[in-house]
Structure 1
């Protein structure tokens, strides 16, 4: 999409919306028409222009602090619906297939960039009014999601009055982008999940998209299809396309960089260069390091060095940008390690001025380092480009850089303190089920596995393996599949998915869901590769296996009562316990026999998953134990030599 073309699109889009407004008013003389015409022609036009400008220009690690037009560097993202590849080039085509979608992707996979593209594409295709909600801002706001959305619209003068907004919502004129669910603090995630579900049910005629990193529990929203960011591949030409798009003004460099990749080790390509962020880091440091490292953290080490000095010296011959606070690179990193550790485990990924100043002040006193905090922050934003400033909200240029510095801090801790941190990580896994959502830390653990290998195995990985192995060998059941099912779920619940159809007719849709055991989260880092398949299979069975549904339903439905919600006028299913509280209808194993439920499931499939998990545990326990012994023996042998 050409930049000059985008500038003219808003006017055309608003004209189309004004014409469409006539179709959903009672008559052309409806007094609301003049208000809608005023709103679309002025306030909505201003909103779209403002956010078109905001999202059409981005800062990248490759370009430092220079904003670039999105489509000068954007390589089209693709999604996976199971194994089916989904194009995202056209928002009309995409939302024609998916009314509600959750986009799941690892750090640096391009989720937020994809959202910006779909936002701009909505204007280009003149179909839906795009509203982008960056969920991280809800960490500081106690209002409901719906109030926050309407407040955002009012702040940007999107709705002149609530009646106009309500009409447009009812007619499905919006596409809502909820970006960065994983950036919400743990204490409010469950609340936001419920509010997203309520908002979608209330305004089901619109389109909805959520982005998140994996394992955040947002994947369980009943109306949403779960799609995953597709990795870049060399065979499909995607890696080549990405490289030449990023280096479109440096074709010779692009050719050399791609040649180093295409002729490099396949394992390295599969492990690293499938990810847009890591591929960008490789391109950033290519001239100094024209090789693909075999560990992820080396990418980050190289990019940190490049951002501190090498990048300026390459782009501006002989020039190294002055750091005004007086710290050298080592000093900057010393502060960033401590800050990243405190902020990461405090669930802070975006930092306001007060929080940043307070934490850096604390670190300065502890480390007895003197420097001007305001100049330090200015250097991070301007001289080094490690941080970005979004209307006073500070963050790392990419969240994975915060995780890198946090991992670096942990790897340098003394034995006892190192173990305390891993114990805390284990506690995070153990409690994530109780808080109803997960603190996603897989990228941090990948880095720790490389940077702190001995402690990672001794204090974290091997204890987790042994605990899961004990669970998988409890002989309470006849088959491995039954052990697996008993480990993973404790029963079922039934939710009402009450919503209005586009034509205004009401439909009540009741679906069964799993009651997953809280205990599974403690060892999820080990078993997720196996229980993901189990989860998908059981989820599918609860929608398609009529015999299983018919068997479970009576155990739940006879406890169900119905009441009318006065706020939204929706019929909701619930049960009434003796204490008078309200909760979703559910049944646990005990009264409902696990063995009877198991008889309706695929015994061969469940036993296969179980056997694969058992084999994996045995292999990993052996390798981890041998690694620990080898390190300890080697150190002893070396000391014995002196």
Structure 2
């Protein structure tokens, strides 16, 4: 085994000295890397056993055999199983064939503000941050980064990695802590619980909570509270949450928000990514990168900064050596490539058999309906029963016959549009589901088209802030594919409704209108903290804004301005003691106010809190709105309002002229016959 470790060190040195563009290692070295990884679990568990013997020595009823059972067998089984699972991935470029992660993994970077954070070493990352939220758009590489950090934790023998895919908590039958402990305690042995608790107290774990944005809205607040509680209880460990932007997780007090860094031409990342993905096709890689680097750089960077979109571009490159200016054309090319061109690229003259008997048009007709239904039912990963039920419903509605089982197999094997992860089906990427959903909506008759856009507005109102980013790609596709109906049935009505709200004559100034529209008061959030021993648990409260529920229906229009307002108000809450001095006494007289650089925290011993006191929220019904308004900089509030109103006027004028022009052009053309 020692020779594997020696070779691994040599391999790492080679990686460091070979230029990224030419870092195309021989297959023998890549395969050896995979074999070396197999030995790391054994070495890691041995280190853990040696460490455990020291910090478990004071527990008299736990002997060496129990330690060996839990760490040397149970935990080893978990790490081995998940090492195998996370070290192989499926990519659109490689069809549905699993490939070794480090054959295609290009190191991701994170941003802490403007500071670049490297992720090649988990130890280095977690020495800087105990708790991080990794925020990135769809396809930015969040889940792939987590898989790398999981494997890297085994390699560096520092932390026991536990990856929790949060979507599995949507059923709501088990708490987060119970789910975590069930995951860690594989064989459910009672002695394991004592060892597990001590490992947790010693900070031996790094927990990856992957895909917060995939949680259903009804359960998000519950999971946020459970994450807060678990982190505070076992604060010595390391914690990572991944999410799309604006999912309402970014304000967790113990977590630092890090964002996925975009790929850029300037930093050589697009070139490095291209050559990594096409490491076995160097000539193709050179041509693909040349097509990118010699184009309009600004346009290319805005379109190909995302690893997924860049991968999709490479997939379609041989047939279309140019970058389209619209997203839906881009996805159309990808779908065409997956249906027919991808196999012929590597297997001359070969087209994979579609066993269900449908042609591409037939597949797409079913997929459009399925994507529409599943998208609006928040089903982004679904089991076989769900898929069969929906496909059968669509078959009956469309009166078309084919074998559902073979249809699903074709989507996984012949076309690679779907993936299968232990019985959980999903599109190769969620954006493809959004593409087919957009096609379905764009083809609806006018009345039904209006109903769908009304449903989207209602969903904004229900789901709140996070939904604006979640639905952004779908709305972009709809705007490109069917701008007339998008403008007439969705965007212009939103603009006009918000304009009415912003011009109500209830207040004297625009700043007052804005503040009253955005918030209705303040709330205190209760957070449990434990430092070291859990006997020292304290309860702290953070002063937060109580936003009006009504703002969310039109948030797609005003989000940039209310986000600016949000940042300003929180800055004032955190730094202006006059605000907290005015607001907090309305909650309770028993709170000790402590100002710090991050928040207004009211820290008290948990046993001093009277549970009968209502600490939840206070509204403008209890506070004088005029006095609250004067606590803030009224010029800043009025400026934000003025900018929003200028934007609304320009957008209403532009959108109205576009609709009128389309209608006039159609009428003029019909008049010609």
Once the two structures are superposed, the pairs formed by residues 558-569 of structure 1 within 5 Å of their partners are 558=589
Of the candidates 277, 294, 312, which is equivalent to residue 281 of structure 1?
312
- With over 3 angstroms needed to count, the CA separation of the structure-2 counterparts of 1:437 and 1:621, relative to structure 1, is closer
Structure 1 residue 32 displacement after superposition: 4.8
Structure 1 residue 350 displacement after superposition: 1.1
The answer to whether the Cα contact below 8 Å between 1:490 and 1:516 also exists between their aligned partners in 2 is yes
Distance 1:544 1:96 in 2: 29
Of the candidates 480, 484, 503, which is equivalent to residue 514 of structure 2?
484
Structure 1 residue 99 displacement after superposition: 1.9
State the partner residue of 1:291. Answer: 322
Structure 1 residue 129 displacement after superposition: 0.8
State the partner residue of 1:306. Answer: 337
SS of match in other structure, 1:494: strand
CA deviations 1:449-482 (Å, max 9, x no partner) are 1112111111111111111222223344444333
The answer to whether the Cα contact below 8 Å between 1:21 and 1:33 also exists between their aligned partners in 2 is no
SS of match in other structure, 1:107: coil
State the partner residue of 1:496. Answer: 526
Of the candidates 553, 563, 568, which is equivalent to residue 584 of structure 2?
553
Distance 1:141 1:472 in 2: 40
Is 2:109 aligned against 1:78? yes
- With over 3 angstroms needed to count, the CA separation of the structure-2 counterparts of 1:65 and 1:336, relative to structure 1, is same
- With over 3 angstroms needed to count, the CA separation of the structure-2 counterparts of 1:611 and 1:160, relative to structure 1, is farther
SS of match in other structure, 2:170: helix
Structure 1 residue 584 displacement after superposition: 4.5
State the partner residue of 1:473. Answer: 503
- With over 3 angstroms needed to count, the CA separation of the structure-2 counterparts of 1:28 and 1:495, relative to structure 1, is closer
Could you list the runs of 5+ residues in structure 1 that have no partner in the other structure? Answer: 562-568, 578-582
Is 2:443 aligned against 1:428? no
Is 2:276 aligned against 1:242? no
State the partner residue of 2:478. Answer: 448
- With over 3 angstroms needed to count, the CA separation of the structure-2 counterparts of 1:159 and 1:358, relative to structure 1, is farther
State the partner residue of 2:220. Answer: 189
- With over 3 angstroms needed to count, the CA separation of the structure-2 counterparts of 1:284 and 1:159, relative to structure 1, is farther
CA deviations 1:476-532 (Å, max 9, x no partner) are 444433332222111111122221113554343321111111111111111222222
Once the two structures are superposed, the pairs formed by residues 55-74 of structure 1 within 5 Å of their partners are 55-74=86-105
The answer to whether the Cα contact below 8 Å between 2:172 and 2:219 also exists between their aligned partners in 1 is no
Structure 1 residue 141 displacement after superposition: 4.8
Distance 1:457 1:143 in 2: 44
State the partner residue of 2:639. Answer: 608
The answer to whether the Cα contact below 8 Å between 1:233 and 1:239 also exists between their aligned partners in 2 is yes
Structure 1 residue 173 displacement after superposition: 1.4
- With over 3 angstroms needed to count, the CA separation of the structure-2 counterparts of 1:158 and 1:536, relative to structure 1, is farther
Structure 1 residue 31 displacement after superposition: 2.7
Of the candidates 441, 456, 464, which is equivalent to residue 494 of structure 2?
464
Distance 1:161 1:39 in 2: 6
Distance 1:280 1:225 in 2: 29
- With over 3 angstroms needed to count, the CA separation of the structure-2 counterparts of 1:159 and 1:326, relative to structure 1, is farther
SS of match in other structure, 1:498: strand
Structure 1 residue 26 displacement after superposition: 4.8
The answer to whether the Cα contact below 8 Å between 1:178 and 1:209 also exists between their aligned partners in 2 is yes
Distance 2:474 2:615 in 1: 35
State the number of aligned residues: 629
| Higher mean C-alpha displacement, 197-206 vs 405-414 | 197-206
Distance 1:346 1:157 in 2: 35
**TM-score, with structure 2 as normaliser:** 0.89
SS of match in other structure, 2:541: strand
The answer to whether the Cα contact below 8 Å between 1:313 and 1:319 also exists between their aligned partners in 2 is yes
Distance 1:346 1:99 in 2: 36
The answer to whether the Cα contact below 8 Å between 1:295 and 1:450 also exists between their aligned partners in 2 is yes
RMSD: 2.4
Distance 2:384 2:85 in 1: 22
CA deviations 1:24-80 (Å, max 9, x no partner) are 235497635542233111111121111111101101000102211111111122222
Once the two structures are superposed, the pairs formed by residues 107-506 of structure 1 within 5 Å of their partners are 107-155=138-186, 161-433=192-464, 440-502=470-532, 505-506=536-537
**TM-score, with structure 1 as normaliser:** 0.93
Is 2:625 aligned against 1:625? no
The answer to whether the Cα contact below 8 Å between 1:170 and 1:203 also exists between their aligned partners in 2 is yes
The answer to whether the Cα contact below 8 Å between 1:574 and 1:585 also exists between their aligned partners in 2 is no
Structure 1 residue 250 displacement after superposition: 1.4
Once the two structures are superposed, the pairs formed by residues 573-584 of structure 1 within 5 Å of their partners are 576=612, 584=615
Distance 1:256 1:401 in 2: 26
Distance 2:468 2:189 in 1: 34
State the partner residue of 1:566. Answer: none
